[in-house]
Amino acid sequence: MLLPRSLLAFPRRAVTLGLLIGSFMGSMEATVVATAMPSIVAQLGGFSLYGWAFSIYVLASSAGIPLAGKLSDILGRRVVYLGSMLLFLAASLLCAFAPSMPCLIVFRALQGLGAAGLLPLALVMIGDMFTFAERARIQALFSAVWGVSSIVGPLLGGFLVDRVGWPSVFYINVPFGILSAWFVWHYWTDHHDLSASSPHIDYAGAALITLSTISLLLGLTDLTAWFGPPLILLSVLLAGLLWRVEQRSPDPVVPLRLFSWPLFTLSLLHSLTIGWALNGVTAYVPLYVQQVQGKSATEAGAALTPLLLSWVVSSALCARLMLRTGYRGPALAGMSFVIAGSILLALLQPDSPHSLLLSSMLIMGAGFGLTVPALLIAVQMLVDRQSMGVATSALQFARGIGGSIGVGVMSAFLNSRIPAAGIASALQSTFWLAGVVTLLGLAFTLAAPHVSAAELNRRR
């Protein structure tokens, strides 16, 4: 007797729900602490370490992405996801009981390492579960979750701090984290062949990529400080050493053979430029709305809403377009939209109508929603299943690094322009800088090899 289709689909839906919960928690944790920090500092002290409570989470979650993806290819998705969730929840409880600000920062670093396995693994597991036709629609759903979490995080944090107390912003992770882990553990089945019982783990590669990433991100926090350039140089040297170590490793954290595929290499470069443009917009558009247009903080946050909404809608359309044209059509169309939105943003004047800004956000969001999933799905379809985790994580990692580089460079550029030109003109020049970077993204997309929809399905 055949089971009803709804019952057959239930395990996949349960896993998807679990991944959505985990993704929401991991992304929200980067912002939910914002409204709790004044209360935390008032109780724990350590105001000079205020910024580290935010940055250490981003540092750890970025540095841990490549290792989490590689471990999922070696040990299986379920084990790595559960381990990441347990680390995330344990660190959340430690944060709630932190006796001092230095302890809180250490525990936030552990939280970030846990989140490094939640966010990218969700995309990897989507690639395992869903067909070519379904994948972009599901990714649109995850994009919506990430967008909503960035808005809900500060609001929820403020509510919990006022009504319950600041430790509650960490306690709230526990029940939802357990639910997410339960869904994934009970309903997920690893279909790829796991490595032998004694797999080789590239500890040297993992340590080097972590140290290189941390050095780069710390250097980018303030490019004008004395420690900025030396840390960036150290990061480059460590990356060079990483390349040599990975050439000799029997099972490297970063398989160098992936770079022999033009699509993968160009997609990494594309992700760097997309991260630069996206983080630059989300960091400086609210500043423009408040400082130049003279609007409130609420209106500044709302200015990003069209970008998130159009991203979700265009991501859903991406799958249909890819079925007809392959990945290049949506990817190129998306980059064209991103460039058009960037130009419109850079042309804004202090007396321009607010609707013009919202239009630029709408156009850019539509572009991101087309170009980001198109290249991600194409890479997932073309790599072998044993490398899907590390390939997907590499693209996520590149986008995060690109975003950090973009914010660092744009911040230094903005600060250098303000004394001579004023805030309005300096921000306009900064938006032009982001627009130039999007042109590089278009060039990388144009250089990517043509792969038809039929070929993507055949390779998969």
Q: What is the pLDDT of residue 197?
A: 47
- Is 245 within a domain? no
Q: Which residue has the tokens 């130049």?
A: 292
Do 54 and 166 belong to one domain?
yes
Q: Does residue 242 lie within any of the structural domains?
A: no
Phi, psi of 295 (to 5 degrees): -100, 175
**Whole-structure pTM value:** 0.77
The dihedral through the CA atoms of 144, 309, 396, 401 has a sign that is negative
Residues 153 and 295 in one domain: no
Measure the CA–CA gap between 434 and 368, rounded to whole angstroms. Answer: 14
Quickly count: other Cβ atoms within 10 Å of residue 223's Cβ: 18
Residues 307 and 169 in one domain: no
Residue 345, in any domain of the structure: yes
Are both 384 and 274 inside the same structural domain? yes
Task: Please state, in angstroms and rounded to a whole number, the distance separating the CA atoms of residues 181 and 63.
Answer: 23
Secondary structure letter of residue 117 according to DSSP: H
The answer to whether residue 237 is domain-embedded is: no
For the record, the structure tokens of 28 come out as 């929200």
Helix (H) or strand (E) holding 400: helix 388-421
339 and 447 together in one domain: yes
Fill in the amino acid letter for 241.
Answer: L
The verdict on 309 and 425 lying in the same domain is: yes
pLDDT reported for residue 196? 46
The CA R_g of the chain, rounded to the nearest whole Å, is 22
Same domain as 145, residue 30: yes
- Class of residue 303 by CB neighbours under 10 A (exposed 0-12, middle 13-18, buried 19+): buried
pLDDT in tens, the chain (460 residues): 333 344 346 688 888 888 988 888 887 776 677 667 778 878 888 766 766 776 678 778 877 888 887 788 778 888 899 999 999 999 999 999 988 888 888 898 899 889 888 877 887 888 778 776 677 677 767 766 766 676 677 667 777 777 888 888 888 889 999 999 999 988 887 765 554 445 566 777 777 887 887 787 777 766 677 777 888 899 889 888 888 887 887 777 777 788 888 888 999 999 999 988 887 887 788 778 877 888 776 677 678 778 878 887 888 788 778 877 778 889 999 999 999 999 999 898 888 888 888 899 999 989 998 998 888 888 877 777 777 777 888 888 888 888 878 877 887 788 788 888 788 888 888 889 888 999 999 999 999 887 766 666 666 5
Indicate if 337 and 454 belong to the same structural domain.
Answer: yes
As for how many domains the chain has, the answer is: 2
Tell me, what's the pLDDT at 445?
A: 92
The residue among 188, 205, 230 that closes a domain is 188
Characterize 245-257 residue by residue with b for buried, 16 or more Cβ atoms within 10 angstroms of its Cβ, and e for exposed.
bbeebeebbbbee
Whether the Cβ atoms of residue 119 and residue 23 lie closer than 8 Å to each other? yes
Sign of CA dihedral 297, 33, 126, 12: negative
Using the CB atoms, write b or e for 87-114: b if 16+ within 10 Å.
Answer: bbbbbbebbbebeebeebbbbbbbbbbb
The answer for residues whose C-beta is within 8 angstroms of residue 345's C-beta and 6 or more apart is 281, 285, 357, 360, 361, 364, 431, 434, 435
Return the pLDDT at 193.
Answer: 54
Three-class SS state of 295: coil
**233: in domain:** no
Nearest to 151 by CA among 63, 30, 290: 30
CATH of the domain at 333: 1.20.1250.20
In a domain, 327, yes or no: yes
What is the domain extent for residue 36? 7-188
Clarify whether residues 341 and 445 are in a common domain: yes
On whether both 75 and 178 belong to a single domain, the answer is yes
* 367: enclosing H helix or E strand: helix 354-382
Q: Are 89 and 275 a contacting pair, CB within 8 Å?
A: no
Show which of 188, 216, 246 is a domain's final residue: 188
Residue at which a domain ends, from 188, 206, 233: 188
Segment (H or E) for 319? helix 305-325
pLDDT at 237: 92
Within-domain flag for 150 = yes
Q: Tell whether 284 and 375 lie within a shared domain.
A: yes
- Give a yes or no: residue 347 inside a domain: yes
Same-domain check for residues 266 and 171: no
- Backbone torsion region of residue 130, taken as left when φ is above 0, otherwise alpha when ψ lies between -120 and 50, otherwise beta: beta
